[in-house]
C-alpha cells in the first residue's frame, strides 16, 4: 500500500490517499483546515482500516510517519505522550489510532522518495493533491465522505 498526504498551506486545505495492490483499492478524502502531517497520518490510517488481517507493506514518503511509528512511539508511550523535550506529542489522536491498527495486522514500513517516478507513490500523491485542490472548488462540487474505489 502506498500512502500520501497533501496540504495547500500548512495549515490549509488538505487531502489524503491510499493506493493498494493487494487487496486492490484506492481510497481518498479531504479536510478543509489541517496540516500535512495530519494528512500523511490519515492516509495510512484510512488505508489500514481497509485491511483487517495478514501482512501489509506500507510505502510512505513521510519520514514523520515512518519514524514516528517505528521509533518515536515507543518513547511517547513510556512518557505519557510527551516528546523528549517534555512537550505534548502533536497529532496524538491519530497516533493512538495508528497504534491500534498496527496491532491488528503485521506491518512492514518502507520510506520512498517523493516525486521520484514510483508509479504507485505518484498515484497516491495525485489523488491526495486533487482532494486538497477540490476544496478550492464551489461547495456544491465537494463530496463530504471519502470515496473508496475498487481497482479490480
Residues 15, 26, 40, 47: which is the catalytic one? 40
Going by C-alpha positions, the residue among 41, 20, 6, 35 that lies closest to residue 114 is 6
Instruction: DSSP letter for 22, please.
Output: T
Residues 4, 14, 29, 31: which is the catalytic one? 4
Residues 5, 14, 29, 68: which is the catalytic one? 5
- Going from the C-alpha of 144 to that of each of 10, 31, 41, 76, the distances in angstroms are 21, 9, 19, 33
Q: Judging by beta carbons within 10 Å of its beta carbon (0-12, 13-18, 19+), is residue 53 exposed, middle or buried?
A: exposed
Q: Is 59 a catalytic residue?
A: no
Q: Is 33 a catalytic residue?
A: no
Q: Is 115 a catalytic residue?
A: yes
Residues 15, 29, 61, 68: which is the catalytic one? 61
- 123 close to 131: Cβ distance less than 8 angstroms: no
Please state the φ and ψ torsions of residue 87, each to the nearest 5 degrees.
-85, 160
Residues 54, 80, 108, 115: which is the catalytic one? 115
Q: Is 80 a catalytic residue?
A: no
Q: Supply the residues annotated as catalytic.
A: 4-5, 40, 61, 115, 125
Amino acid at each position: 500500500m502506498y500512502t500520501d498526504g497533501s496540504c495547500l498551506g500548512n495549515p490549509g486545505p488538505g487531502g489524503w490517499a491510499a493506493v493498494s495492490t493487494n487487496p486492490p483499492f484506492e481510497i481518498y478524502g479531504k479536510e478543509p483546515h489541517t496540516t500535512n502531517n495530519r494528512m500523511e497520518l490519515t492516509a495510512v490510517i484510512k488505508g489500514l482500516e481497509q485491511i483487517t488481517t495478514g501482512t501489509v507493506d506500507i510505502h510512505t514518503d513521510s519520514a514523520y510517519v515512518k519514524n514516528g511509528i517505528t521509533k518515536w512511539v515507543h518513547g511517547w508511550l513510556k512518557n505519557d505522550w510527551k516528546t523528549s523535550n517534555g512537550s505534548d506529542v502533536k497529532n496524538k489522536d491519530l497516533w493512538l489510532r495508528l497504534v491500534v491498527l498496527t496491532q491488528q495486522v503485521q506491518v512492514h514500513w518502507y520510506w520512498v522518495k517523493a516525486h521520484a517516478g514510483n508509479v504507485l507513490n505518484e498515484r497516491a500523491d495525485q489523488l491526495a493533491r486533487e482532494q486538497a485542490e477540490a476544496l478550492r472548488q464551489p461547495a456544491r462540487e465537494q463530496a463530504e465522505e471519502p470515496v473508496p474505489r475498487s481497482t479490480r
